Amino acid sequence: MAFQNMVNMQLMMFLLVAIGFFVRRKGIIGSIARKELVNFCLYITLPFNIFHSFRMDWDFGMLRAFVEVLLLSAGYNLISIMISWLCYRRTEPQRQKPLRYGTIVSNGGFLGNPVIEGIYGMDGLFYASVFMLPVRIVMWSVGTSCFMKGSEENLVKKVLTHPCVAAIYLGLAAMVAGVGFPVFLENTITGISSCNTPLSMMLIGMMLAEMNPKGLIDRTMVFYTAVRLGVIPAVIFGITYFLPVPPLLRGITVIIAGMPAPVTTALLSAKYGGDESYATGMIFVTTILSLVTLPVWCLILGI
């Protein structure tokens, strides 16, 4: 069942990518419109999607479980950040940006939740949603800083005022305060949020249509793929193996750590001067190979 869920999610992603590829190749959307759609995704659909991810019921009786999951998530994020800064030091700056970002952040938000729900059910989905809270904060703070230049003060200001980071503040506040919205507003948030995945994946297809595949698979790409799909989840598995961590939480942590590169790698590269084509290749290669590596991690975890 878990493998079937993973395959279905991956096939849906590839179909959306194929549609975007077709649209761009046929000239239905030009290069200028495609760049404007990147802005629309980063400033509208992604912030709504992030805010919507915090729409869960909060109960202070769940605080102990929250703390345990949040500590695991914090440890995972710290390890990912350390690995990202140890690697790629000699890589050219344009490629270094997406490589570091794609090492810090996995596609756990989009692929992780449905896969974990298929493996562990609603309990697993709940813990996965909690686990993703620090991940999203790191994603739009430390992760985004990989692409932005400037003095430390200006950099912090740029990151903290980014619409996606603002969505985290508002989402957390609304969740903890238990704020309820009128049906029409809740439906609007849900509707715009649901646009994010198809729009993002079709944008990846449009970027693929513009890229030159020559030289895409190089030593750095192979190294990155090994780090993203093998090294990080292996480190997480090794550490949690010697800690008194319940198998459910260990499994969630390892699976999210072993997810492929996120779609935002290419979107942020297109917006902030990273190697857009290389970032698109990172997503494409790691997503294909994750069809093999994720089931392997499920076997290692004894699922």
Give the model confidence (pLDDT) of 95-135 as tens digits: 899 999 999 998 876 667 667 767 777 567 677 777 887 88
pLDDT score recorded for residue 123: 67
| CA dihedral over 161, 75, 287, 3, signed as positive or negative | negative
Instruction: Name the 3-class secondary structure at 22.
Output: helix
Q: Where are the domains of the chain?
A: 2-300
What is d(CA 11, CA 144) in angstroms, rounded to the nearest whole number?
28
Residues contacting 100, CB < 8 A, separation 6+: 84, 85, 87, 88, 146
What is d(CA 258, CA 232) in angstroms, rounded to the nearest whole number?
7
The answer to whether the beta carbons of residues 25 and 209 sit under 8 Å apart is yes
Angle between helices 113-139 and 2-25 (to 10 degrees): 60
Q: Is the pLDDT of residue 151 over 60?
A: no
What is d(CA 89, CA 244) in angstroms, rounded to the nearest whole number?
35
Architecture of domain 2-300 in this structure: Up-down Bundle (1.20)
Give the model confidence (pLDDT) of 256-279 as tens digits: 999 889 888 988 888 888 888 899
